[in-house]
Amino acid sequence: MEDSNLPVGVAIIGGGPAGLSAGLQLVRANRRITVLDSNRPRHAATLRSHGFLTRDGVPPLEVRRLAREEFEGYPKARVAQAIASEVTPLSHEEAVAVGFPDGIGFRVRGTGVRGSADVEVISRRVLIAAGLTEDLPDLPMIRAYYGTALHSCIECDGFEKSDTPLVLIGETSDLFARALLISRISSDLVVLTNGADTITPTQEAQLASIGIRVERRKLDDIVGDQNGMTGVRLADGEVIPSVGGFVRPRWHAPVEFLGDNPVERDDWGLVVVNKRGETSVRGIYAVGDIVPPGPQQIAIAAGDGARVAAKLNMDMIRGALGVGLVDD
């Protein structure tokens, strides 16, 4: 067992598919890697995950368990059950003194969760793979149906809803594109904007031409019986019958641990990275749902994790030799 106080190559914040996939590639490149994970993935709301080749229909927590087991099978891998609370850059001299040849390094502090100890990790690079947190539209019963009748990922849960009466609930400007995607699954769809003016009259006409109605009135709540969701009640009392559908949450990139050294974000608040996966702060990378275009799928998060891990590894090899950064 490795000494957990040794400096590491990369501290990975987040042990989801993106973080663990990157971690697996990096330990296989003979790097010492610590993953800090608070173990609160967004997809915990759902019972089955779909579309990840060889794991279609497997509970998402099982996918995580297998991923962690594979990563932790390597001697230089460590997972700390902790929520990263602080990432601070080391000075050039401090970084060189701990053995980081290119003078880039970070101190990552984490608060232990579920009875685990607090951690402090000194790392050459940081990879943010913290996923997103989400706010659902403000309807009292929406959480009760989220993950069973209502979902956010159309590619992940759409097929199971084929040809049923569906709703799409959201208040953002990408509702139109989402409605088009759902039209592949069911033509019985009502788009509910909850009073938001986010679908243009042209888009509304285009949706109407394929049988999709846009309802702009304010919503009151989701309604259901012992068998599940039965509809959505509008503020004026009318109920739109539906057995389920899709919600567009508002997402938040949880990077408060960067404190006064924030990274550049886009208009949606997602962490901007270059094509190597590096943020606007040298040495801090990001991957997975937290980077544009935002929430996607397990396969994409895992694939991106592997891709960015390769770039990170080359960045450290080049940094050690002092031969500068090039992309390939």
Ligand X SMILES: Cc1cc2nc3c(=O)[nH]c(=O)nc-3n(C[C@H](O)[C@H](O)[C@H](O)COP(=O)(O)OP(=O)(O)OC[C@H]3O[C@@H](n4cnc5c(N)ncnc54)[C@H](O)[C@@H]3O)c2cc1C
Residues forming the site for ligand X (CB under 6 A): 13-19, 36-43, 45-46, 49-52, 83-84, 129-131, 147, 151-153, 156, 254, 257, 288-289, 295-299, 301
Q: How far apart are CA 143 and CA 161, in angstroms?
A: 19
- Determine the 3-state secondary structure of 178 from DSSP: helix
Packed helices 298-321 and 60-72: angle between N→C axes, nearest 10 degrees: 20
For residue 328, give every residue at least 6 positions away whose Cβ sits within 8 Å of its Cβ, in sequence order, or none. Answer: none
Helices (H), the chain: 17-28, 60-72, 92-97, 142-145, 154-157, 175-182, 201-209, 298-321
Q: How far lies 307's CA from each of 79, 256, 275, 302, in Å?
A: 21, 25, 10, 9
Output the smallest distance, CB 202 to ligand X, in A.
Answer: 31
**Choice between 186 and 296, CB closer to ligand X:** 296
- Determine the 3-state secondary structure of 239 from DSSP: strand
**Choice between 56 and 238, CB closer to ligand X:** 56
Output the smallest distance, CB 269 to ligand X, in A.
Answer: 14
**Choice between 175 and 291, CB closer to ligand X:** 291
Q: To the nearest 5 percent, what fractions of the chain are helix, strand and coil?
A: 30, 25, 45
Output the smallest distance, CB 58 to ligand X, in A.
Answer: 9
Output the smallest distance, CB 254 to ligand X, in A.
Answer: 5
- Can you name the residues that pair with 12 across neighbouring β-strands? 35, 127
Q: How far apart are CA 273 and CA 67, in angstroms?
A: 25
**Choice between 245 and 319, CB closer to ligand X:** 245
Token duo for residue 84: 């990263």
**In degrees rounded to 5, what are phi and psi of residue 272?**
-80, 135
Q: Which amino acid is at 295?
A: P
For residue 120, give every residue at least 6 positions away whose Cβ sits within 8 Å of its Cβ, in sequence order, or none. Answer: 107, 108, 109, 110
From the list 110, 105, 111, the residue with the least C-alpha distance to 281 is 105
